[in-house]
Amino acid sequence: MSDVKNFFYVNRRAPYGTIYALESLEVVLIGAAFEQDVSLAFLDDGVFQLAKGQETKDIGMKNFSPTYKALGDYDVNKIYVEKESLEARGLTVDDLLPLTYEDADDDYAEKNSIKVVTAAELAQLMDQADVVLSF
Amino acid sequence: MTMLHTVNKSPLDRNALESAITHATKGSAVLMIEDGIYGAMKGTIKSAMVTNAMKDVSFYVMGPDLKARGIDASRVIDGVKIVDYSGFVDLVAEHKSSQSWL
Amino acid sequence: MKFSVLISEGPYTHQASDTAYNFTKAALEKGHECFRVFFYHDGVNNGTRLTTPPQDDRNVVNRWSALAKEHNLDLVLCVAAAQRRGIADADEARRNGKNADNIAEGFRISGLGQLIEAGIQSDRLVTFGD
């Protein structure tokens, strides 16, 4: 395997209406085994993927939102949520799943994986990526 | 090196072009392909979004997709460069990475 | 450059596969190297040999098979997406108790790791989708 690359996964779509949210999460989990530098971005309607309280029994589809909570265990802990996208949708970070990870460099202290960033900050982060996967 | 942003949907249909422009840093490029070519047309309610961003971002549009849709080059916003698939390949090679705004 | 392509939509319904094909062909003609073409989501539907499109229009599946043969391309269908959508080779059909397989010439089925590897090994990865 060659150098470690900065993989940037961009999520812009709501969950359940289409499969992109679920299948992109599957890429992230498989990709975690390759020990690259992984960041996830949620912007536009993608922020809805992280909404708390998803109950899918009545639509007859599997609720895959618990899988986001496992991301920390896969060393995926750079999860950027765009501020403007939240605000445009009347959401705050308190409406989102509490995603955390255990920081091995800090005595396994539990920390927040979600970082709310502005569009301008997200643009800079995107520019630094080596590989961008858009779903 | 900066990023190449591709947009394949009309700005009157989706927010992809707007989002791409919002996230395109100075010196990067936006290439409109497939139905995204409508974003390159003069005289639409979305044209200003492109013209206002031109000072910081380079805009390109796929000639083959314009022609397929019957949009003549004369209707393309001044300053948006028309390219073909060979030009698309060059744009990918010249930028550090590419992001598709779908 | 060494490039890879990700195709996220099936044939005909979206232009993604067409644009990806035209891009790939142009890049190869310019002397660039294609590491892999990876098909995900509905993109796996580009790998069925059972399509019979109208004769007066392009044959999206066969065109990929022909390009792959001419340039020794690696066309990979994601196994998880293929299982969901019913695209199988003989091994997958047998493994999953299906009485038929339908994979087109020049395609192979493999895991998502192949997409990640394409990102790692290529200079550029371009996505074509909806």
Tokens coding B24: 């395109």
Q: How many domains does chain A have?
A: 1
Confidence (pLDDT) at A2? 54
Average pLDDT over residues B9-15: 97
For the question of whether the overall pTM of this predicted structure is more than 0.90, the answer is yes
Instruction: Give the strand pairing for C107-110 and C33-39.
Output: unpaired
Domain count for chain B, please give it: 1
Helix, coil or strand: residue A104: helix
Contacts of B34 in chain C (CB under 8 A): 15-16, 19
Instruction: Tell me which residue range forms the domain holding B32.
Output: 3-101
Distance to chain A for C116, nearest Cα, Å: 6
Per-residue pLDDT of chain C (130 residues; tens, 9 = 90+): 999 999 999 999 999 999 999 999 999 999 999 999 999 999 999 999 999 999 999 999 999 999 999 999 999 999 999 999 999 999 999 999 999 999 999 999 999 999 999 999 999 999 999 9
Neighbouring residues of C75: CB distance < 8 A, sequence distance ≥ 6: C36, C37, C39, C47, C64, C65, C68, C106, C107, C108
Q: Which of B25, B98, B101 sits opposite A124 (nearest CB)?
A: B25
A80: in domain: yes
Beta-carbon count within 10 A of B32 CB: 30
Say yes or no to pLDDT of B1 above 90.
no
Query: Which of the residues B37, B92, B94, B98 would you substitute to probe the C interface, choosing the one with the greatest number of C C-beta atoms within 10 Å?
Result: B92
In a domain, A1, yes or no: no
CA–chain centroid gap for B98, Å, is 13
Q: Which two tokens stand for residue A18?
A: 């289409």
d(CA A75, CA A132): 18
The strand pair at A109-112 and A100-103 is best described as antiparallel
Q: What is the pLDDT of residues B19-42, one digit of tens each?
A: 999 999 999 999 999 999 999 999
Contacts of C128 in chain B (CB under 8 A): 8, 100
CA angle A54, A57, A63 (to 5 degrees): 45
Mutant choice from B3, B7, B97, B102 vs A, greatest count of A C-beta within 10 A: B97
Q: Is B64 helix (H, G, I), strand (E, B) or coil?
A: helix
CATH code, domain with A93: 3.40.1260.10
The pLDDT of residue A68 is above 50: yes
- The mean predicted confidence, pLDDT, of chain C is 98
- Any domain includes A87: yes
Beta bridge partners of C7: C39, C128
Mean pLDDT value across chain B? 97
Q: Which chains form contacts with chain A, at 3 or more CB pairs under 8 Å?
A: B, C
- Residue A60: the pLDDT is 96
Quote the minimal CA–CA distance from B97 to chain C in Å.
6
Cross-strand partners of C126: C5
- A-to-B residue pairs, Cβ atoms closer than 8 angstroms: 39
The chains in contact with chain B, meaning 3 or more Cβ pairs closer than 8 Å, are A, C
CA torsion through residues A14, B57, B94, B90, sign: positive
Residue A87 has pLDDT above 50, yes or no: yes
DSSP letter for C104, please.
P
Mapping DSSP to helix (H, G, I), strand (E, B) and coil, where does residue A83 land? helix
Residues A118 and A81: their CA atoms lie apart, in Å, by 8
- Nearest CB to B99 within list A119, A124, A126: A126
**ipTM of the complex model:** 0.97
Asked if B46 contacts B37 with a C-beta cutoff of 8 angstroms, the reply is no
pLDDT (0 to 100) of residue A3: 76
CB contact under 8 A, C23 and B85: yes
Q: Compute the half-sphere exposure of residue C78: CA atoms within 13 Å on the CB side of its CA.
A: 27
At residue A7, the pLDDT reads 97
Over residues A72-90, the mean pLDDT reads 97
Chain-centroid distance of CA A18 in Å reads 17
* Residue A82, domain member (yes or no): yes
CATH number of the domain where residue B9 is located = 3.40.1260.10
Beta bridge pairs of residue A80: A41, A115
Domains of chain C: 2-128 (3.40.1260.10)
Is residue C78 part of the annotated active site? The answer reads yes
The whole-number average pLDDT for the span A85-105 is 96
Residues of C in contact with A7 (CB under 8 A): 116, 119
Q: Is residue A39 part of a domain?
A: yes
User: What residues in C contact B88, CB-CB < 8 Å?
Assistant: 23, 26
Q: Which string of DSSP letters, residue by residue, matches B38-102? A: GGGBTTSTTHHHHHHHTTTSEEEEEHHHHHHTT--GGGBPTTPEEE-HHHHHHHHHHSSEEEEE-
- What range defines the domain where residue A19 resides? 6-134
Chain C residues whose CB is inside 8 A of the B85 CB are 22-23, 25-26
Strands C2-7 and A109-112: what pairing? unpaired
Asked if C130 and C10 touch (Cβ cutoff 8 Å), the reply is no
Reported as a single tens digit per residue, the pLDDT across A5-25 is 999 999 999 999 999 999 999
Span B51-63, average pLDDT: 98
3-state helix, strand, coil in chain A (%, to 5): 40, 25, 35
Q: What is the mean pLDDT of chain A?
A: 95
Chain A and chain C share a number of CB contacts under 8 A equal to 52
| Residues C75, C39 contacting (CB under 8 angstroms) | yes
Q: What is the pLDDT of residue A1?
A: 47
The pLDDT score that the predictor gives to residue A4 is 93
Contacts of B99 in chain A (CB under 8 A): 10, 126, 132, 134
Rounded to 5 degrees, φ, ψ at A127 are: -60, -30
Q: Count of alpha carbons within 13 Å of A50, Cβ hemisphere only?
A: 34
Q: Do C127 and A1 touch (CB under 8 A)?
A: no
Shortest distance, CA C85 to any CA of chain B (angstroms): 22
Q: Is B12 helix (H, G, I), strand (E, B) or coil?
A: coil
Q: Give the count of beta carbons closer than 10 Å to the beta carbon of residue C101.
A: 15
Q: Which residue has the tokens 């395997």?
A: A1
Cβ-defined contact of A27 to C112 (cutoff 8 Å): yes
